[in-house]
Amino acid sequence: MGQQKIPAAIVGPGNTGTEPFTETQVRDTVRAPDAAGMEATHRTEADVSPQHFAVPRELGTETAGFLVTAHMTDRENLAKQARIMIDAGRQARYVTDSAGALLMDDARARFEALVAEVGDEAWVGYHGHQNAERYKVPAHAILRRCGERGYVGGQEDMIIDIAIAPAEEQTT
């Protein structure tokens, strides 16, 4: 069995740049066989997420979502947010450490809280980042440059470019 491309519509308030997706664009994407509907929502905004996955669910598409910036709330609140989404029809939830800020025990605690909350009603995943450590650049230096350039969350590819520059500066 080889690799297979699966079309996915990734929408939601936690995914910078995706809000302009129209309902027609989402419908066109998720009509493809084996398509997936994915959505990223900030850890405290689960109540607005159903609007982002209503069309994929209506079309019978499997939906998965990401509770991003999971490090900025406790595990109990994260589990409550997951419950809101599961009750609205979401089939999967991810604990998402988009900042790369959680230590393994913290990540495990949040993951286990979601599993305890949703049980067999949905599957739970974990999506984590290591945003600064691999370049040996302090996180504050990266964040300062992000602020100087006006970046917002969800632009990890640009953040990596920022991390590379100070790392190269340190070697010269």
pLDDT in tens, 83-105: 988 888 888 888 888 778 888 89
Same CATH topology for 8-129 and 132-172? no
Write b or e for each residue in 51-88: b if 16 or more Cβ atoms lie within 10 A of its Cβ, otherwise e.
Answer: ebbbbbbeeebbbbbbbbbbbebebebbbebbbbbbeb
The CATH class for the domain spanning 8-129 reads alpha beta
85 contacts 46 by C-beta, under 8 angstroms: yes
* Residue located via tokens 């607005």: 48
Find all residues with CB under 8 Å of 133, minimum gap 6, and list them. 100
Give domain limits for the chain: 8-129, 132-172
Does pTM top 0.85 for this prediction? Answer: no
Under the banding of pLDDT at 50, 70 and 90, the label for residue 13 is low
Residues whose CB is less than 8 angstroms from the CB of residue 170 and which lie 6 or more positions away in sequence, other chains included: 136, 137
Which class is domain 132-172?
mainly alpha
Share of the chain above pLDDT 90, in %: 17
pLDDT at 149 (0 to 100) = 82
Residue 159 sits at the vertex; the CA angle it makes with 157 and 160, to the nearest 5 degrees, is: 65
pLDDT of residue 35: 63
pLDDT in tens, 17-43: 445 456 777 777 666 656 666 666 777
The radius of gyration computed from the CA coordinates of the chain, to the nearest angstrom, equals 17
Rounded mean pLDDT of 162-168? Answer: 78
**Tally of CB atoms within 10 A around 47:** 12
H and E: helices and strands count for the chain: 6, 5
Name the residue with higher pLDDT: 131 or 161. Answer: 161
User: Is pLDDT of 16 > 50?
Assistant: no
Residue 113 has pLDDT above 90, yes or no: yes
Instruction: Share the mean pLDDT of the chain.
Output: 77
Between 3 and 140, residue with greater pLDDT: 140
- Per-residue pLDDT tens digits for 128-150: 876 676 778 887 888 788 888 87
DSSP 67: E
